Every structure is written in structure tokens, then in C-alpha cells.
Amino acid sequence: MNPSPVWSTTRFEIDLSRPRLMGIVNLTPDSFSDGGRHDSASAGAAHCERLLAEGADILDLGAESTRPGAASVDATSEWQRLEPVLRAALGLGVPVSVDTRKAEVMARALDLGADIINDVEALRGPQALPTVARHPRCGICLMHMPGDPSTMQRSPAYDDVVREVGAFLAQRLHACTAAGIRAERVVLDPGVGFGKTPEHNLALLGRQSELMALGRPLLAAWSRKSTLGVITGRPVGERLAASLAAALAAVSRGAAVVRVHDVAATRDALQVWDAVRIAAGDNPGPAAIQGGR
């Protein structure tokens, strides 16, 4: 089955016939690679504008870190961090995603007009699925994570990580469609670094075609993650080249969206990759993000 090339969201139909860049906007004091850099409303809004100028197609705003062992944040504090930046981002003319696990934050973000809910718990949290299902159009990213961020890296073990992550994502996609959510609204993410060893993460990338068979586009989020540090021996601040290599490996194997911190550099890398596709005669041509309703 070929994944549908469209991601249907609140205001935009995102054409995924070429890879899309999702720029990460962490509004947190404690994110694993850029905590404390954009955690005031003005710095967060400025970062959104910077990522757009660098070529982001989608902005992903998060106000709670999900790094291994991160302390959870209550919904009120999360929303206080998010709201002013979300209001500003929604005026920038691109799809805006909100990275949250809490139904209360999802509901508020959707009321304000958010285009996408990106949930690392794949809508398994209390009231998350019905909250999103009540919305007629928003896009959704369902990610695989066993347990929660405080426990997920305690000896992750699978018999066959690709088969088990695929079965989980298929089950969550089914839960969404059973709740009345059209499949075109959903993108799937194997969850690099969430309850997985470096070997697990690499197996998921190397055998990505098995996840493509689930019939929905895939999101790849390797940016700066620790597996890249294990492979290269580099600390988190020196993983740009490794992140670019992983992003290109993911899109070459069919990923439709790459979630990254370093938008300008990833844009350059994708442009070269696209130019090679054109030269090879297998480029589908320019693709647009339609909408703005």
C-alpha cells in the first residue's frame, strides 16, 4: 500500500510528495539540546520567525521536555509557556503543530486554531483521543514510546523492535479511525530515542520500509539525538553533521516529514538530495502546502 501523500490538518492540506521540514521550537527550560534558549514568549516567537526564514514548512511548538528522566509539567504551566508563542505562530501562514501529551493543553491549542497535535504518547493519555477526535480536521502525529519519559530508557527490550513498533502504530492508527478520525489526518513516528537502544533506533531506520507498509506517511526525528552521539562520539552540541546524515537516510528510505532543530542546514541538504532526484528523473515536481482557511 502506498502512503497517501497528503497530511490533512486544521487549515492546511500538506502535500507530502516531497519531504517536509518540521522546525522544533522548544519553549522549555530543560530540553535535552536547547533548553532555556527560547523559553520566554518573545524569544519563542522570534525563534518561530527565524525557523520560517530558514525554510521550515511546519513549526512544532513544545512546552514540556520529554527527554529521558524529564520531570513532568502541569497543564497550567505548560499552557502559560505555550499560549503567547502559539498565538504568534498561528499568524505566520504555515501549519503549526503543538507537541503535548495532555488533553487539556490539546483542547486549548485546538480552540486557538492549532493545525496539528504531535503526541509522544500517541493519544493514549486520559481524554487525549476523544479530545482530538472532537475536532473535525486537525492533523495528528502518533509516536511510539513504551512507558513514559521517566522510565522509558530503563533496559528497553523487544523481540523484534520493528515488528512491535509497527504493531503499536497500527493499533493506534486503528484507535483513531475507530474514533472517527480520517486516516489522512494521521502521520506515524517510530519515536527515535524513546524507550530504545541505539541498535533499536538503527533497526527502525534500516527497516523503515516495513513501517511504510502501514499506509501512512512517516515522520523521522533524529535531530541531535543520543544515538548519533553514540555513533560519532560527539556531545549534543556537535551533532549537526550526524543529524543531517540521519535526516537524509530517513527521507531516502521514504520518510515524509523530518523534525529538526537545525532548519537552514537541513534545508540545504534536502535541496541537494532533491536536485539529485530531479537529475535521476524521479522527482514528482514542485509540491505546495494548500490552505490558510
Is the four-CA dihedral 192, 222, 228, 224 of positive or negative sign? negative
Nearest to 289 by CA among 103, 79, 10, 2: 10
Any contact of residue 153 with ligand HH2 (CB under 6 A)? no
Phi and psi torsions of 50, nearest 5°: -65, -45
Contact 24, 120 (CB under 8 A): no
**Minimum Å distance from CB 280 to ligand HH2?**
30
Q: Which stretch binds ligand HH2 (CB under 6 A): 189-197, 233-241, 271-279, 282-290?
A: 189-197
* Binding residue (CB under 6 A) for ligand HH2 from 10, 33, 226, 243: 33
* Binding residue (CB under 6 A) for ligand HH2 from 8, 31, 131, 227: 31
Any contact of residue 259 with ligand HH2 (CB under 6 A)? yes
Residue with smaller CB distance to ligand HH2, 13 or 121? 121
Calculate the CA 198 to chain-centre distance: 19
How many chain residues touch ligand HH2 (CB under 6 A)?
21
Residue 2 grid cell: 502506498
Any contact of residue 191 with ligand HH2 (CB under 6 A)? yes
Contact 251, 219 (CB under 8 A): no
Strand pairing of 58-62 and 20-26?
A: parallel
Q: Which stretch binds ligand HH2 (CB under 6 A): 20-28, 129-137, 159-167, 248-256?
A: 20-28
* Binding residue (CB under 6 A) for ligand HH2 from 189, 247, 251, 289: 189
**Minimum Å distance from CB 246 to ligand HH2?**
11
DSSP bridge partners of 220: 258
Nearest to 87 by CA among 66, 125, 113: 113
**Minimum Å distance from CB 219 to ligand HH2?**
6
DSSP, collapsed to helix, strand or coil, labels residue 158 as coil
* Binding residue (CB under 6 A) for ligand HH2 from 13, 39, 57, 99: 99
Residue with smaller CB distance to ligand HH2, 37 or 277? 37
* Binding residue (CB under 6 A) for ligand HH2 from 65, 153, 201, 226: 65
Strand pairing of 219-220 and 257-260?
A: parallel
* Binding residue (CB under 6 A) for ligand HH2 from 16, 24, 105, 289: 24
**Minimum Å distance from CB 88 to ligand HH2?**
19
Any contact of residue 88 with ligand HH2 (CB under 6 A)? no
Is the four-CA dihedral 50, 53, 56, 58 of positive or negative sign? positive
The length of the chain, given as a count of residues: 293
Nearest to 90 by CA among 109, 64, 62: 109
Question: Which residues form the catalytic set?
Answer: 225, 259
Positions in 207-236 near ligand HH2 (CB under 6 A): 219, 221
